[in-house]
Structure 1
């Protein structure tokens, strides 16, 4: 079961906070096993792995919420969850906030895209809602939470729609409305990252998306630019798909691909909690 920790506590433990993004319960367990202080759950990977669909607003809150519940139940890591646009109007935002807080999630990220939302780095056209609409959603989420340590992170996708100046202005308004942290999605250069970092004194999130629009830098470089939370949204998923493709291509010819040393089978079952469940069986079965 996920462990709650406030954003302030997480940043006190590690700054910058490195957050590999889990796409299912097994990847969350592996992030925990690798020693990370926290993890994240992203819609892109969850939707892709659970339904085989792209991140274009095709999945409902019920589908995504069920996946988040599975993941949260499989790891003791504190988790930050992508809540898209809140899955509707302010009423839906309130429900989304309450459901994720009840799951023990540490923070949710709400974005200002028009529904149906689209992946922030995909080569597709997107729109953003009026700033006042997003401010209302943030106000509703902040009022709905019971624990003030449950963080509401505001994300703006305005950079690719209205330009960087507008995105920064939106960010200022979202912080003034009470957002605990800010995520200006898809800056396209180090200079833009520098401008964002200099404009705010709240925790800032950056997406280190390989193959995306934002420069992928080292954690230290991001920290120098003013970013304290680094998301790795596709790092695990890209490598998983790449290895699957190589392995399946070789297997189609009747051979095993040479992927280097593989984990022993008991390591795989250990990640799944085999020893814990067999101990329950031993004591009570």
Structure 2
């Protein structure tokens, strides 16, 4: 089944695109089943849930690509944006990253301008960024590598917390000039920063994080400031961790049964795993031969 493109989504928005982040197949299916029109695959989430690692550049491209492949195969129809960190190296690595994710059926990538090893965007501790010229070359490589304009490229700059707002805006304009499809200025801390960013990029789809130390606002408020897409990179993961911790704490004291009535039942769990489809396949061939 072909996917709708991010370009199609952005061309028909009448409000902000909400992008909860998946970290594995189950979370991606839950997002799709809840009616969201697109999915972000978060590097923060994949590193944390798949490998038990913080988002500090500790996981490799191969590890992320393997996790992404399972999600791309299991979730059809809606576009999936892959967090590709810094592209895992220089222009050669960015070229390979774009080729790999496009070939596996991802709908686009998000590329940032940090120095490797990168850090979580909401972490200010010792975060370093590439010279603007070098970062721009990597984005040019990404744009020129894709074989279809439907493959959506989001440029992210982490320069706001390192060089300040004016420098971040200048970088953003330079990155847009490289032909990327959207821009993400990471980790704004104040409302006036959000407002200034929104005013500075008319006509360019802008992404904003509703996470960490950034202001958390109602979706429509971001839209009215000029932002087209709102990222929720840790929301699903935090809900899963919180729910599991609560259940395990209660179970450890014997205060709840193992089968908590507030949890989905066995039938619902197996539906999410795709069991009905596979049982139908088994039944179809049962009496052949």
Q: Could you say what secondary structure the match of 1:161 adopts? A: helix
Structure 1: give runs of 5+ residues left out of the alignment.
none
Q: Deviation per CA, 1:77-118, whole angstroms, max 9, x where unpaired? A: 210110000001100000000111111211111100000000
Match of residue 31 from structure 1: 31
For residue 5 of structure 1, report the CA deviation from its aligned partner.
Answer: 2.8
Deviation for aligned residue 1:259: 7.2
TM-fit CA distance, 1:196: 0.3
Q: Quick check: 10-19 or 144-153, which moved more?
A: 10-19
CA–CA distance in structure 1, aligned partners of residues 174 and 271 of structure 2 = 47
1:244: how far off? Answer: 1.2
Structure 2-normalised TM-score?
0.94
- Deviation string 1:242-282 (CA, Å, 9 cap, x unpaired) is 11111111111223289772222101101111110000000
**Secondary structure in structure 2 of the residue aligned to 1:254:** coil
- Aligned counterparts of 1:42 and 1:190: Cα–Cα separation in 2: 24
Unaligned runs of at least 5 residues, structure 2: none
Residues paired across the two proteins, number: 282
State the Cα distance separating 1:177 from its structure 2 match.
1.3
SS in 1 for 2:19: strand
Aligned residue number for residue 4 of structure 2? 5
The answer to whether the 8 Å contact 2:7/2:152 transfers is no
Q: Which residue of 1 aligns with 2:137?
A: 136
In the alignment, the residues of structure 1 paired with residue 11 and residue 178 of structure 2 have an alpha-carbon distance, to the nearest angstrom, of 24
The equivalences for 1:132-281 within 5 A come to 132-201=133-202, 202-209=204-211, 212-256=212-256, 261-281=262-282
Deviations 1:210-262 (A, max 9, x none): xx111011110000010001111111111111111111111112232897722
User: Which deviates further from its counterpart, 142-151 or 110-119?
Assistant: 142-151
SS in 2 for 1:108: strand
For 2:220 and 2:198, how far apart are their aligned partners in 1? 14
Q: CA RMSD in A?
A: 1.5
